[in-house]
Amino acid sequence: LSERLQNAMAKMRRKGKVSETDVKEMMREVRLALLEADVNFKVVKDFVKTVSDRAVGAEVLESLSPSQQIIKIVSEELTELMGGEQSTIQMAPKAPTVVMMVGLQGAGKTTTAGKLANHLRKTQNKRPMMIAADIYRPAAIQQLETLGEQLDIPVFSMGDQVSPVEIAKQGIQKAKDEHRDFVIIDTAGRLQIDETLMAELSDIKSVANPTEIFLVVDAMTGQEAANVAASFNEQLNITGVILTKLDGDTRGGAALSIRSVTGKPIKFVGQGEKLDALEPFYPDRMANRILGMGDMLSLIEKAQEDFDEKKTEEMAKKIKENSFDFNDFIEQMDQVSNMGPLEDILKMIPGMSNAPGLENLQLDPKDMARMKAIVLSMTPKERENPDLLSQSRRRRIARGSGRPIAEVNRMIKQFNESKKMMSKMSKGNFDGMDGMFGQ
């Protein structure tokens, strides 16, 4: 999805005034982009109509920056399409809150059960328990037990000779006895939706009385994910969707179709196989990500989980106020290297997802070490105030760090450019972003 839309956006951005024909042309691109992204046909049609209606309105064509207005409209409507507001997990008025995970085989139910338990414990201090109610898939019980061990979260199981309904019932009782406040039931899936499966899930639902029934769907299946969601919803009246494998999905078709096809919100997204790779779903951030504006807020939030909250706030404030200096830079670099695979993080930086290739970005660990050496050769004053870095100072830094002067210059230039960019981005100004990483 992104590439075509991003190109259309970039073209738009370069225009001063736009005519109705420009809008039409742009909408054609948007429609193609959405269809290519495997978004449901009807959803596309409605979307394009809504955006066109708004875009040819007087507020846009007569405004000072019509192209930006249109980009804003597309972004707003994409957000709306995905539910508008963030939708959080509901809690039962009386503990324990019971959550049922349902979905097709391989969608990621079991893994996501573990991720969700981990997430709730980490962010809300919950004491979760998981119930192994998939008695069909070979080793499904063991898979959940292994996850439980890794996370140190208890798993209730009764082998595969007892009915899933009975397992759910006894598991919930056990959770009550142990004063667990959160119960996640992992259920069986099939390769296709079938009646036996639905009947069993319905039975579990009636004994478990869940507050949330999360349908787990694989984002890589595109609009098929929305079809699956529609039938599960019809049969079970699900309360929300968790979209997994978003790390492998470059099209965004599932995310864009699900809400309008089912009327149910996406509540979380899975971003990888690791047990901390689950994030709340934010429609506005996803819309911006699809438009290639990156996802500064998610980036900051991911960082937040991994280090001191206060520091992150400070950092975000500094970025906003444009007072980000080399000390922050070094700190951030250290943090980035603790934050897991660099690619995951880089993809969230504005402009990166569209970058010609990560290797051009000169951010491999070796380069980071070199940059760090350069910064460490600056005096504390210079680090706080990069404007002090005159040519003679730069030469001294080059000698001190053992790096060529050209590299020192390039590093400072890059630093200044990203700083400017970050400050703009954080104020919601996306203009001029094309130049960011020098495409």
Structure tokens at 172: 């919930």
Determine whether the annotation assigns residue 106 to a binding site: yes
Taking each helix axis as running N to C, give the angle between helix 41-55 and helix 66-81, from 0 to 180 degrees, rounded to the nearest 10: 150
Question: Least distance in Å: CB of 245 to ligand GDP?
Answer: 4
Question: Least distance in Å: CB of 187 to ligand GDP?
Answer: 9
Determine which residue in the list 6, 110, 257, 271 makes contact with Mg ion, applying CB under 5 A: 110
Question: Least distance in Å: CB of 3 to ligand GDP?
Answer: 21
Question: Least distance in Å: CB of 38 to ligand GDP?
Answer: 18
Q: Which is nearer to ligand GDP, 83 or 272 (CB)?
A: 272
CA distance 199 to 279: 31
Which residue, 92, 153, 101, is CA-closest to 128? 153
Determine whether the annotation assigns residue 244 to a binding site: yes
Helix (H) or strand (E) holding 280: strand 278-280
Determine whether the annotation assigns residue 105 to a binding site: yes
What number of residues does the chain have?
439
Q: Which is nearer to ligand GDP, 132 or 389 (CB)?
A: 132
Q: Which does 273 bind (CB under 5 to 8 A by kind): Mg ion, ligand GDP, none?
A: ligand GDP
Contact (Cβ atoms closer than 8 angstroms) between residue 241 and residue 218 = no
288: contact with Mg ion by CB under 5 A: no
SS3 of residue 366 by DSSP: helix
Contact (Cβ atoms closer than 8 angstroms) between residue 168 and residue 133 = yes
Q: Which does 66 bind (CB under 5 to 8 A by kind): ligand GDP, Mg ion, none?
A: none
Residue located via tokens 């951005």 = 13
Omega of the bond prior to 96 within 30 degrees of 0, cis? yes
Write the interaction track for Mg ion spanning residues 118-157; mark x where CB under 5 A is met and - where it is not. Answer: ----------------------x-----------------
Q: Which is nearer to ligand GDP, 66 or 164 (CB)?
A: 164
Question: By the criterion CB under 6 A, which residues form the site for ligand GDP?
Answer: 103, 105-111, 189, 216, 244-245, 247-248, 270-273, 277
Determine whether the annotation assigns residue 187 to a binding site: yes
Question: Least distance in Å: CB of 114 to ligand GDP?
Answer: 8
Question: Which stretch, 105-113, 231-239, 302-310, 314-322, contacts Mg ion (CB under 5 A)?
Answer: 105-113
Which residue, 86, 111, 99, 100, is CA-closest to 271? 111
Structure tokens at 104: 């097709």
Q: Which does 108 bind (CB under 5 to 8 A by kind): Mg ion, ligand GDP, none?
A: ligand GDP
CA distance 251 to 242: 17
Contact (Cβ atoms closer than 8 angstroms) between residue 15 and residue 22 = yes
List contacts with Mg ion (CB under 5 A): 109-110, 140
